[in-house]
Structure 1
Amino acid sequence: MRFSRNAMGTLFVGGALTLTLGALAYPSMLGLDTVSNAQDRIIAQTQWGPLTEQDRNFVVAVRAAGLWEYPLGQIGLRKGTTPEVKRASEHLVDGHAALDASCRKIAPMLNITLPNVASPQQLSFVNQIDSQTGQAFDSNFANILRTTHGSIFNTVAKIRSTTKNSLVRQLADQANNTVLDHITVMENTGLVNYDTALFQQTTPPKLPKSDMTPPPPQPGEPMVVLTPPATATATPTITP
Protein backbone atom coordinates (compact mmCIF):
# COMPACT_ATOMS: atom_id res chain seq x y z
CA MET A 1 0.00 0.00 0.00
CA ARG A 2 1.51 3.35 -1.04
CA PHE A 3 0.35 6.80 -0.04
CA SER A 4 1.13 9.78 -2.23
CA ARG A 5 -0.55 13.00 -1.02
CA ASN A 6 2.72 14.94 -0.96
CA ALA A 7 4.23 12.43 1.44
CA MET A 8 7.48 14.01 2.45
CA GLY A 9 10.31 13.88 4.88
CA THR A 10 12.96 11.28 5.57
CA LEU A 11 12.55 9.36 8.78
CA PHE A 12 16.14 8.26 9.19
CA VAL A 13 19.16 10.54 9.18
CA GLY A 14 22.41 8.86 10.14
CA GLY A 15 20.44 6.01 11.69
CA ALA A 16 18.41 8.28 14.00
CA LEU A 17 14.67 8.59 13.79
CA THR A 18 13.52 12.10 12.91
CA LEU A 19 9.92 12.13 14.05
CA THR A 20 7.47 14.54 15.51
CA LEU A 21 3.83 14.36 16.45
CA GLY A 22 2.45 17.34 18.28
CA ALA A 23 -1.13 18.44 18.79
CA LEU A 24 -2.43 18.88 15.26
CA ALA A 25 -3.91 22.28 14.49
CA TYR A 26 -6.69 22.44 11.95
CA PRO A 27 -6.91 26.05 10.71
CA SER A 28 -9.79 28.22 9.53
CA MET A 29 -10.66 25.70 6.83
CA LEU A 30 -12.78 24.08 9.56
CA GLY A 31 -15.26 26.89 9.10
CA LEU A 32 -14.64 28.16 12.63
CA ASP A 33 -13.00 31.40 13.66
CA THR A 34 -9.35 30.94 14.60
CA VAL A 35 -8.25 34.53 14.99
CA SER A 36 -6.93 33.88 18.47
CA ASN A 37 -3.95 31.61 19.01
CA ALA A 38 -5.06 30.79 22.55
CA GLN A 39 -5.84 27.10 22.51
CA ASP A 40 -8.16 27.42 25.50
CA ARG A 41 -10.30 30.01 23.75
CA ILE A 42 -13.93 28.92 23.66
CA ILE A 43 -15.15 28.66 20.08
CA ALA A 44 -18.63 27.25 20.74
CA GLN A 45 -21.10 26.70 23.55
CA THR A 46 -22.74 23.30 23.32
CA GLN A 47 -25.16 21.28 25.42
CA TRP A 48 -22.20 19.07 26.40
CA GLY A 49 -20.14 22.01 27.64
CA PRO A 50 -17.93 24.69 26.06
CA LEU A 51 -15.74 23.66 23.13
CA THR A 52 -12.25 25.15 22.95
CA GLU A 53 -9.77 25.29 20.09
CA GLN A 54 -7.67 22.57 21.68
CA ASP A 55 -10.78 20.40 22.12
CA ARG A 56 -11.57 20.74 18.44
CA ASN A 57 -7.97 20.14 17.39
CA PHE A 58 -7.87 17.03 19.56
CA VAL A 59 -10.88 15.48 17.80
CA VAL A 60 -9.24 16.21 14.44
CA ALA A 61 -5.93 14.76 15.67
CA VAL A 62 -7.55 11.51 16.79
CA ARG A 63 -9.25 11.15 13.41
CA ALA A 64 -6.00 11.92 11.54
CA ALA A 65 -4.06 9.40 13.65
CA GLY A 66 -6.44 6.66 12.57
CA LEU A 67 -6.09 7.62 8.92
CA TRP A 68 -2.46 6.52 8.92
CA GLU A 69 -2.20 4.01 11.76
CA TYR A 70 -5.20 1.92 10.67
CA PRO A 71 -3.83 1.28 7.14
CA LEU A 72 -0.37 0.76 8.60
CA GLY A 73 -1.86 -1.92 10.84
CA GLN A 74 -3.25 -3.59 7.74
CA ILE A 75 0.19 -3.45 6.15
CA GLY A 76 1.72 -4.91 9.30
CA LEU A 77 -0.65 -7.85 9.15
CA ARG A 78 0.70 -8.63 5.68
CA LYS A 79 4.37 -7.81 6.08
CA GLY A 80 5.18 -8.36 9.76
CA THR A 81 7.52 -11.28 10.30
CA THR A 82 6.88 -12.05 13.98
CA PRO A 83 3.75 -12.93 15.95
CA GLU A 84 4.34 -9.89 18.16
CA VAL A 85 4.40 -7.46 15.20
CA LYS A 86 1.26 -9.02 13.78
CA ARG A 87 -0.45 -8.77 17.15
CA ALA A 88 0.52 -5.10 17.38
CA SER A 89 -0.91 -4.62 13.89
CA GLU A 90 -4.20 -6.17 14.97
CA HIS A 91 -4.39 -3.74 17.87
CA LEU A 92 -3.80 -0.77 15.55
CA VAL A 93 -6.67 -1.77 13.26
CA ASP A 94 -9.01 -2.64 16.12
CA GLY A 95 -8.30 0.38 18.30
CA HIS A 96 -8.42 2.99 15.58
CA ALA A 97 -11.61 1.63 14.04
CA ALA A 98 -13.31 2.15 17.41
CA LEU A 99 -11.78 5.60 17.94
CA ASP A 100 -12.80 6.59 14.43
CA ALA A 101 -16.40 5.60 15.11
CA SER A 102 -16.38 7.87 18.17
CA CYS A 103 -14.88 10.77 16.21
CA ARG A 104 -17.42 10.42 13.43
CA LYS A 105 -20.23 10.33 15.98
CA ILE A 106 -19.32 13.46 17.92
CA ALA A 107 -17.96 15.60 15.05
CA PRO A 108 -21.37 16.63 13.66
CA MET A 109 -22.69 17.14 17.18
CA LEU A 110 -19.90 19.63 17.85
CA ASN A 111 -19.82 21.09 14.32
CA ILE A 112 -16.30 19.82 13.66
CA THR A 113 -15.14 19.03 10.13
CA LEU A 114 -13.04 15.86 9.97
CA PRO A 115 -10.29 15.15 7.43
CA ASN A 116 -10.36 12.18 5.09
CA VAL A 117 -6.59 12.06 4.65
CA ALA A 118 -3.78 12.12 7.19
CA SER A 119 -1.16 14.88 7.22
CA PRO A 120 1.81 14.80 4.81
CA GLN A 121 4.09 13.97 7.73
CA GLN A 122 1.91 11.04 8.77
CA LEU A 123 1.71 9.75 5.20
CA SER A 124 5.49 9.89 5.01
CA PHE A 125 5.62 7.58 8.06
CA VAL A 126 3.46 5.05 6.22
CA ASN A 127 5.50 5.25 3.01
CA GLN A 128 8.79 4.89 4.86
CA ILE A 129 7.69 1.87 6.87
CA ASP A 130 5.96 0.23 3.90
CA SER A 131 9.14 0.57 1.80
CA GLN A 132 10.91 -1.87 4.13
CA THR A 133 10.71 -5.65 4.33
CA GLY A 134 11.72 -8.35 6.79
CA GLN A 135 13.42 -7.32 10.02
CA ALA A 136 13.86 -3.74 8.81
CA PHE A 137 10.09 -3.44 8.42
CA ASP A 138 9.46 -4.86 11.88
CA SER A 139 11.99 -2.51 13.49
CA ASN A 140 10.76 0.63 11.71
CA PHE A 141 7.16 -0.31 12.45
CA ALA A 142 7.72 -0.81 16.18
CA ASN A 143 10.02 2.16 16.76
CA ILE A 144 8.14 4.79 14.77
CA LEU A 145 4.80 3.81 16.25
CA ARG A 146 6.20 3.62 19.79
CA THR A 147 7.66 7.11 19.37
CA THR A 148 4.52 8.68 17.92
CA HIS A 149 2.26 7.11 20.53
CA GLY A 150 4.61 8.20 23.30
CA SER A 151 4.54 11.74 21.92
CA ILE A 152 0.75 11.98 21.85
CA PHE A 153 0.24 10.38 25.27
CA ASN A 154 0.82 13.63 27.17
CA THR A 155 -1.51 15.51 24.85
CA VAL A 156 -4.32 13.06 25.59
CA ALA A 157 -3.74 13.47 29.33
CA LYS A 158 -3.83 17.27 29.03
CA ILE A 159 -7.13 17.22 27.16
CA ARG A 160 -8.63 14.76 29.64
CA SER A 161 -7.64 16.90 32.59
CA THR A 162 -8.67 20.29 31.17
CA THR A 163 -11.65 19.92 28.84
CA LYS A 164 -15.06 21.05 30.05
CA ASN A 165 -16.84 19.28 27.19
CA SER A 166 -18.22 15.87 28.17
CA LEU A 167 -18.02 14.42 24.64
CA VAL A 168 -14.37 15.40 24.27
CA ARG A 169 -13.71 14.02 27.75
CA GLN A 170 -15.17 10.64 26.77
CA LEU A 171 -13.11 10.61 23.57
CA ALA A 172 -9.99 11.39 25.63
CA ASP A 173 -10.79 8.48 27.96
CA GLN A 174 -11.04 6.13 24.99
CA ALA A 175 -7.93 7.58 23.35
CA ASN A 176 -5.95 7.23 26.58
CA ASN A 177 -6.77 3.53 26.83
CA THR A 178 -6.05 2.97 23.13
CA VAL A 179 -2.73 4.82 23.08
CA LEU A 180 -1.52 3.02 26.21
CA ASP A 181 -2.50 -0.31 24.67
CA HIS A 182 -0.64 0.53 21.47
CA ILE A 183 2.45 1.66 23.38
CA THR A 184 2.39 -1.66 25.24
CA VAL A 185 2.04 -3.90 22.19
CA MET A 186 4.84 -2.02 20.41
CA GLU A 187 7.09 -2.55 23.42
CA ASN A 188 6.10 -6.22 23.52
CA THR A 189 7.68 -6.70 20.07
CA GLY A 190 11.07 -6.50 21.81
CA LEU A 191 12.28 -4.15 19.06
CA VAL A 192 11.89 -0.73 20.67
CA ASN A 193 15.01 1.36 21.20
CA TYR A 194 13.97 3.31 24.29
CA ASP A 195 16.86 5.78 24.18
CA THR A 196 15.99 6.78 20.62
CA ALA A 197 12.27 6.91 21.34
CA LEU A 198 12.75 9.17 24.36
CA PHE A 199 15.14 11.44 22.49
CA GLN A 200 12.73 11.84 19.58
CA GLN A 201 9.78 12.48 21.89
CA THR A 202 11.59 15.27 23.72
CA THR A 203 13.54 16.87 20.85
CA PRO A 204 11.39 16.68 17.71
CA PRO A 205 12.57 18.56 14.60
CA LYS A 206 10.80 21.72 13.52
CA LEU A 207 8.48 21.09 10.61
CA PRO A 208 6.25 23.49 8.68
CA LYS A 209 2.69 23.56 9.95
CA SER A 210 1.52 22.42 6.51
CA ASP A 211 3.43 19.15 6.94
CA MET A 212 1.54 18.36 10.14
CA THR A 213 -1.96 19.49 9.10
CA PRO A 214 -4.36 17.06 7.42
CA PRO A 215 -6.09 18.61 4.40
CA PRO A 216 -9.82 19.33 4.63
CA PRO A 217 -12.24 17.07 2.74
CA GLN A 218 -13.30 18.17 -0.71
CA PRO A 219 -16.90 19.39 -1.09
CA GLY A 220 -19.23 16.43 -1.44
CA GLU A 221 -16.45 13.94 -0.70
CA PRO A 222 -17.78 10.82 1.10
CA MET A 223 -16.40 10.36 4.58
CA VAL A 224 -13.77 7.65 4.89
CA VAL A 225 -14.86 4.97 7.36
CA LEU A 226 -12.34 2.78 9.17
CA THR A 227 -14.17 -0.53 9.26
CA PRO A 228 -13.81 -2.62 12.43
CA PRO A 229 -12.18 -6.04 11.90
CA ALA A 230 -14.34 -9.15 12.11
CA THR A 231 -12.60 -10.01 15.39
CA ALA A 232 -12.99 -6.53 16.91
CA THR A 233 -12.75 -6.26 20.68
CA ALA A 234 -12.41 -2.47 21.00
CA THR A 235 -15.68 -0.54 21.07
CA PRO A 236 -16.61 3.15 20.85
CA THR A 237 -17.34 4.63 24.26
CA ILE A 238 -19.22 7.83 23.43
CA THR A 239 -22.55 7.97 25.26
CA PRO A 240 -24.11 11.44 24.86
Structure 2
Amino acid sequence: MRFSRNAAGTLFVGGALSMTLAALAYPSMLGLNKVTTDEGRVIAQTEWGPLTEADRDFVVKVRAAGLWEYPLGQMAIEKGTTPEVVNAGEHLVDGHAALDASCRKIATLLNITLPNTASPQQEGFVTTIASKSGKEFDSELVNTMRMTHGSIFSTVAKIRATTKNTLIRQLANQANEIVLDHITVLEDTGLVNFEQTLHMQTSPPKLPEVDLTPPPPSGRQPQVVLTPPPTATSSPLVLPGESNPATKSPDPKQAPEAQQSPGPQVG
Protein backbone atom coordinates (compact mmCIF):
# COMPACT_ATOMS: atom_id res chain seq x y z
CA MET A 1 0.00 0.00 0.00
CA ARG A 2 1.38 3.45 -0.96
CA PHE A 3 1.48 6.43 1.39
CA SER A 4 2.07 10.01 0.29
CA ARG A 5 1.48 13.54 1.55
CA ASN A 6 0.28 16.64 -0.23
CA ALA A 7 1.82 20.09 0.17
CA ALA A 8 -0.31 20.72 3.26
CA GLY A 9 0.94 17.52 4.87
CA THR A 10 -2.31 15.59 4.46
CA LEU A 11 -1.72 11.85 4.34
CA PHE A 12 -3.15 9.92 1.41
CA VAL A 13 -3.16 6.15 1.07
CA GLY A 14 -2.84 4.33 -2.23
CA GLY A 15 -3.34 7.36 -4.49
CA ALA A 16 -6.48 9.22 -5.49
CA LEU A 17 -8.74 6.21 -4.98
CA SER A 18 -7.91 6.19 -1.28
CA MET A 19 -8.96 9.80 -0.82
CA THR A 20 -12.60 9.46 -1.65
CA LEU A 21 -14.21 7.49 1.15
CA ALA A 22 -13.24 10.10 3.70
CA ALA A 23 -15.10 12.66 1.61
CA LEU A 24 -18.34 11.06 2.74
CA ALA A 25 -17.57 11.99 6.35
CA TYR A 26 -19.31 15.34 6.13
CA PRO A 27 -19.74 17.16 9.49
CA SER A 28 -23.09 16.34 11.00
CA MET A 29 -24.25 19.86 11.75
CA LEU A 30 -23.01 22.39 9.21
CA GLY A 31 -23.38 25.90 10.61
CA LEU A 32 -24.48 24.61 14.03
CA ASN A 33 -22.71 23.40 17.13
CA LYS A 34 -22.67 19.67 17.67
CA VAL A 35 -23.29 19.06 21.34
CA THR A 36 -23.41 15.24 21.40
CA THR A 37 -22.12 12.27 19.46
CA ASP A 38 -25.49 10.54 19.61
CA GLU A 39 -26.75 10.32 16.05
CA GLY A 40 -30.15 9.26 17.34
CA ARG A 41 -30.58 12.50 19.30
CA VAL A 42 -33.68 14.37 18.17
CA ILE A 43 -32.71 17.90 17.15
CA ALA A 44 -36.13 19.08 15.95
CA GLN A 45 -39.78 18.07 16.05
CA THR A 46 -41.35 18.61 12.64
CA GLU A 47 -44.74 17.95 11.08
CA TRP A 48 -43.11 15.11 9.15
CA GLY A 49 -41.76 13.44 12.28
CA PRO A 50 -38.74 13.89 14.57
CA LEU A 51 -35.45 14.90 12.94
CA THR A 52 -32.29 13.33 14.35
CA GLU A 53 -28.64 14.20 13.89
CA ALA A 54 -28.26 11.16 11.64
CA ASP A 55 -31.19 12.34 9.52
CA ARG A 56 -29.63 15.75 9.04
CA ASP A 57 -26.23 14.18 8.33
CA PHE A 58 -27.82 12.15 5.59
CA VAL A 59 -29.32 15.13 3.74
CA VAL A 60 -25.99 16.97 3.90
CA LYS A 61 -24.06 13.90 2.71
CA VAL A 62 -26.32 13.43 -0.29
CA ARG A 63 -25.97 17.11 -1.23
CA ALA A 64 -22.18 17.05 -0.71
CA ALA A 65 -21.82 13.88 -2.78
CA GLY A 66 -23.53 15.55 -5.72
CA LEU A 67 -21.25 18.57 -5.58
CA TRP A 68 -18.25 16.45 -6.62
CA GLU A 69 -19.76 13.36 -8.23
CA TYR A 70 -21.85 15.40 -10.67
CA PRO A 71 -18.77 17.09 -12.22
CA LEU A 72 -17.04 13.72 -12.33
CA GLY A 73 -20.00 12.44 -14.31
CA GLN A 74 -19.57 15.35 -16.71
CA MET A 75 -15.90 14.42 -17.09
CA ALA A 76 -16.79 10.80 -17.82
CA ILE A 77 -19.12 11.93 -20.60
CA GLU A 78 -16.41 14.15 -22.12
CA LYS A 79 -13.28 12.05 -21.52
CA GLY A 80 -14.43 8.45 -21.23
CA THR A 81 -12.82 6.20 -23.82
CA THR A 82 -15.56 3.54 -23.94
CA PRO A 83 -19.34 3.71 -24.38
CA GLU A 84 -19.74 2.06 -20.97
CA VAL A 85 -17.75 4.77 -19.16
CA VAL A 86 -19.68 7.48 -20.98
CA ASN A 87 -22.93 5.78 -20.02
CA ALA A 88 -21.83 5.68 -16.38
CA GLY A 89 -21.14 9.41 -16.56
CA GLU A 90 -24.60 10.07 -17.95
CA HIS A 91 -26.17 8.15 -15.09
CA LEU A 92 -24.09 10.06 -12.52
CA VAL A 93 -25.20 13.43 -13.89
CA ASP A 94 -28.82 12.39 -14.24
CA GLY A 95 -29.11 10.81 -10.78
CA HIS A 96 -27.29 13.50 -8.82
CA ALA A 97 -29.26 16.30 -10.46
CA ALA A 98 -32.48 14.67 -9.24
CA LEU A 99 -31.10 13.93 -5.76
CA ASP A 100 -29.80 17.49 -5.48
CA ALA A 101 -33.22 18.94 -6.25
CA SER A 102 -34.76 16.67 -3.62
CA CYS A 103 -32.16 17.68 -1.02
CA ARG A 104 -32.79 21.37 -1.63
CA LYS A 105 -36.53 20.89 -1.21
CA ILE A 106 -36.17 18.87 1.99
CA ALA A 107 -33.51 21.15 3.47
CA THR A 108 -35.81 24.15 3.12
CA LEU A 109 -38.66 22.39 4.91
CA LEU A 110 -36.49 20.97 7.69
CA ASN A 111 -34.28 24.06 8.14
CA ILE A 112 -31.07 22.22 7.23
CA THR A 113 -28.10 24.28 6.06
CA LEU A 114 -26.55 22.83 2.90
CA PRO A 115 -23.04 23.34 1.55
CA ASN A 116 -22.56 25.22 -1.70
CA THR A 117 -19.11 23.88 -2.52
CA ALA A 118 -17.34 20.61 -1.87
CA SER A 119 -14.70 20.23 0.83
CA PRO A 120 -11.04 21.01 0.07
CA GLN A 121 -10.36 17.26 0.00
CA GLN A 122 -13.24 16.63 -2.40
CA GLU A 123 -12.20 19.44 -4.72
CA GLY A 124 -8.66 18.11 -4.67
CA PHE A 125 -9.94 14.70 -5.63
CA VAL A 126 -11.84 16.08 -8.63
CA THR A 127 -8.70 17.92 -9.69
CA THR A 128 -6.71 14.68 -9.47
CA ILE A 129 -9.17 12.78 -11.65
CA ALA A 130 -9.30 15.66 -14.14
CA SER A 131 -5.54 15.36 -14.61
CA LYS A 132 -5.85 11.78 -15.87
CA SER A 133 -6.51 10.78 -19.46
CA GLY A 134 -7.23 7.74 -21.55
CA LYS A 135 -7.55 4.34 -19.90
CA GLU A 136 -6.02 5.66 -16.68
CA PHE A 137 -8.84 8.18 -16.39
CA ASP A 138 -11.44 5.48 -16.99
CA SER A 139 -10.00 3.11 -14.38
CA GLU A 140 -9.37 5.75 -11.72
CA LEU A 141 -12.84 7.24 -12.03
CA VAL A 142 -14.71 3.93 -12.15
CA ASN A 143 -12.93 2.35 -9.19
CA THR A 144 -13.18 5.48 -7.08
CA MET A 145 -16.86 5.91 -7.75
CA ARG A 146 -17.62 2.22 -7.19
CA MET A 147 -15.88 2.34 -3.82
CA THR A 148 -17.69 5.46 -2.60
CA HIS A 149 -21.08 4.34 -3.86
CA GLY A 150 -20.61 0.96 -2.19
CA SER A 151 -19.79 2.72 1.06
CA ILE A 152 -22.75 5.07 1.10
CA PHE A 153 -25.10 2.26 0.06
CA SER A 154 -24.99 0.90 3.61
CA THR A 155 -25.58 4.39 5.01
CA VAL A 156 -28.72 4.74 2.90
CA ALA A 157 -30.01 1.39 4.19
CA LYS A 158 -29.39 2.32 7.81
CA ILE A 159 -31.19 5.65 7.50
CA ARG A 160 -34.11 4.03 5.67
CA ALA A 161 -34.43 1.43 8.41
CA THR A 162 -34.22 3.83 11.36
CA THR A 163 -35.59 7.25 10.47
CA LYS A 164 -38.97 8.35 11.82
CA ASN A 165 -39.15 11.34 9.49
CA THR A 166 -41.30 10.98 6.39
CA LEU A 167 -39.21 13.33 4.24
CA ILE A 168 -35.95 11.61 5.16
CA ARG A 169 -37.56 8.27 4.38
CA GLN A 170 -38.55 9.48 0.92
CA LEU A 171 -35.02 10.76 0.24
CA ALA A 172 -33.54 7.43 1.39
CA ASN A 173 -35.86 5.56 -0.98
CA GLN A 174 -34.74 7.72 -3.88
CA ALA A 175 -31.05 7.53 -2.92
CA ASN A 176 -31.25 3.75 -2.63
CA GLU A 177 -32.58 3.45 -6.18
CA ILE A 178 -30.08 5.90 -7.68
CA VAL A 179 -27.01 4.63 -5.84
CA LEU A 180 -27.80 1.05 -6.86
CA ASP A 181 -28.20 2.21 -10.47
CA HIS A 182 -24.81 3.93 -10.30
CA ILE A 183 -23.15 0.85 -8.82
CA THR A 184 -24.60 -1.25 -11.63
CA VAL A 185 -23.46 0.96 -14.51
CA LEU A 186 -20.00 1.33 -12.98
CA GLU A 187 -19.65 -2.44 -12.77
CA ASP A 188 -20.92 -2.74 -16.34
CA THR A 189 -17.74 -0.97 -17.50
CA GLY A 190 -15.75 -4.10 -16.64
CA LEU A 191 -13.09 -1.93 -14.96
CA VAL A 192 -13.91 -2.46 -11.28
CA ASN A 193 -11.06 -3.94 -9.23
CA PHE A 194 -13.21 -5.51 -6.51
CA GLU A 195 -10.30 -6.50 -4.27
CA GLN A 196 -9.08 -2.91 -4.12
CA THR A 197 -12.46 -1.19 -3.86
CA LEU A 198 -13.87 -3.53 -1.22
CA HIS A 199 -10.71 -3.17 0.86
CA MET A 200 -11.02 0.60 0.77
CA GLN A 201 -14.70 0.41 1.73
CA THR A 202 -13.82 -1.45 4.92
CA SER A 203 -10.54 0.35 5.67
CA PRO A 204 -11.05 4.05 4.96
CA PRO A 205 -8.16 6.46 5.54
CA LYS A 206 -8.34 8.88 8.45
CA LEU A 207 -7.92 12.48 7.32
CA PRO A 208 -8.08 15.74 9.30
CA GLU A 209 -11.58 17.14 9.69
CA VAL A 210 -10.52 20.43 8.10
CA ASP A 211 -9.91 18.59 4.82
CA LEU A 212 -13.33 16.94 4.95
CA THR A 213 -15.49 19.94 5.80
CA PRO A 214 -17.15 21.97 3.03
CA PRO A 215 -17.21 25.65 3.91
CA PRO A 216 -20.59 27.10 4.95
CA PRO A 217 -22.36 28.90 2.12
CA SER A 218 -21.95 32.63 1.78
CA GLY A 219 -25.11 34.69 1.90
CA ARG A 220 -23.85 36.57 -1.15
CA GLN A 221 -23.71 33.45 -3.29
CA PRO A 222 -26.68 32.01 -5.16
CA GLN A 223 -27.39 28.40 -4.26
CA VAL A 224 -25.64 26.00 -6.59
CA VAL A 225 -28.08 23.95 -8.67
CA LEU A 226 -27.01 20.76 -10.43
CA THR A 227 -28.78 21.14 -13.75
CA PRO A 228 -30.57 18.06 -15.10
CA PRO A 229 -29.45 16.87 -18.55
CA PRO A 230 -31.86 17.32 -21.49
CA THR A 231 -32.36 13.55 -21.58
CA ALA A 232 -33.00 13.20 -17.84
CA THR A 233 -34.86 10.10 -16.72
CA SER A 234 -34.67 10.72 -12.94
CA SER A 235 -37.01 13.22 -11.27
CA PRO A 236 -36.91 15.07 -7.93
CA LEU A 237 -39.16 13.83 -5.16
CA VAL A 238 -42.76 14.95 -5.10
CA LEU A 239 -43.21 15.88 -1.44
CA PRO A 240 -46.43 15.83 0.58
CA GLY A 241 -48.71 18.66 -0.53
CA GLU A 242 -46.96 19.10 -3.89
CA SER A 243 -48.52 18.37 -7.24
CA ASN A 244 -46.49 16.26 -9.63
CA PRO A 245 -45.02 18.55 -12.32
CA ALA A 246 -45.20 15.63 -14.75
CA THR A 247 -48.98 15.95 -14.75
CA LYS A 248 -48.73 19.57 -15.91
CA SER A 249 -45.86 19.50 -18.35
CA PRO A 250 -44.32 16.86 -20.64
CA ASP A 251 -40.94 17.86 -19.20
CA PRO A 252 -40.93 17.64 -15.36
CA LYS A 253 -37.46 19.21 -15.29
CA GLN A 254 -39.01 22.53 -16.31
CA ALA A 255 -40.93 22.86 -13.06
CA PRO A 256 -40.62 26.37 -11.54
CA GLU A 257 -38.73 25.12 -8.47
CA ALA A 258 -35.74 24.07 -10.55
CA GLN A 259 -35.51 27.54 -12.16
CA GLN A 260 -35.55 29.76 -9.09
CA SER A 261 -31.77 29.74 -8.53
CA PRO A 262 -29.39 30.87 -11.26
CA GLY A 263 -27.30 27.72 -10.87
CA PRO A 264 -23.57 28.44 -11.33
CA GLN A 265 -21.66 26.15 -13.63
CA VAL A 266 -20.41 23.01 -11.89
CA GLY A 267 -17.33 21.16 -13.00
TM-score in same-fold range (> 0.5): yes
Partner amino acid, structure 1, of 2:64: A
2:99 aligned with 1:99 = yes
C-alpha contact (below 8 Å) 1:84/1:185 kept by paired residues: yes
1:13 offset after TM fit, Å?
Answer: 3.0
1:16 offset after TM fit, Å?
Answer: 7.2
| 2:112 counterpart residue number | 112
- Sequence identity (%): 61
1:15 offset after TM fit, Å?
Answer: 9.5
Measured in 2, the distance between the counterparts of 1:153 and 1:15 equals: 21
Q: Structure 2 regions of 5+ residues with no counterpart?
A: 1-6, 241-267
1:209 offset after TM fit, Å?
Answer: 1.7
Measured in 1, the distance between the counterparts of 2:73 and 2:9 equals: 20
| 1:3 counterpart residue number | none
| 1:164 counterpart residue number | 164
1:36 offset after TM fit, Å?
Answer: 1.2
Higher relative contact order (CA 8 A, sep 6+): 1
Partner amino acid, structure 2, of 1:90: E
- Give deviations 1:202-226, integer Å, cap 9, x for gaps: 0111111222222110123210000
**Would the alpha carbon gap of residues 188 and 216 (structure 1) be closer, same or farther in structure 2, given more than 3 Å must change?**
same
**Would the alpha carbon gap of residues 194 and 51 (structure 1) be closer, same or farther in structure 2, given more than 3 Å must change?**
same
Measured in 1, the distance between the counterparts of 2:129 and 2:58 equals: 25
1:227 offset after TM fit, Å?
Answer: 0.6
Measured in 2, the distance between the counterparts of 1:14 and 1:91 equals: 25
**Would the alpha carbon gap of residues 89 and 10 (structure 1) be closer, same or farther in structure 2, given more than 3 Å must change?**
farther
| 1:26 counterpart residue number | 27
Partner amino acid, structure 2, of 1:20: L
1:143 offset after TM fit, Å?
Answer: 0.4
Tell me the TM-score normalized by structure 2. Answer: 0.82
Give the secondary-structure state (helix, strand or coil) at the position aligned to 1:51: strand
2:14 aligned with 1:13 = yes
Q: Structure 1 regions of 5+ residues with no counterpart?
A: 1-5
Measured in 1, the distance between the counterparts of 2:37 and 2:180 equals: 30
2:55 aligned with 1:55 = yes
| 1:182 counterpart residue number | 182
Q: What is the aligned-residue RMSD (CA, Å)?
A: 2.2
| 1:153 counterpart residue number | 153
Count of aligned positions = 234
1:125 offset after TM fit, Å?
Answer: 2.1
Give the secondary-structure state (helix, strand or coil) at the position aligned to 1:127: helix
**Would the alpha carbon gap of residues 129 and 234 (structure 1) be closer, same or farther in structure 2, given more than 3 Å must change?**
same
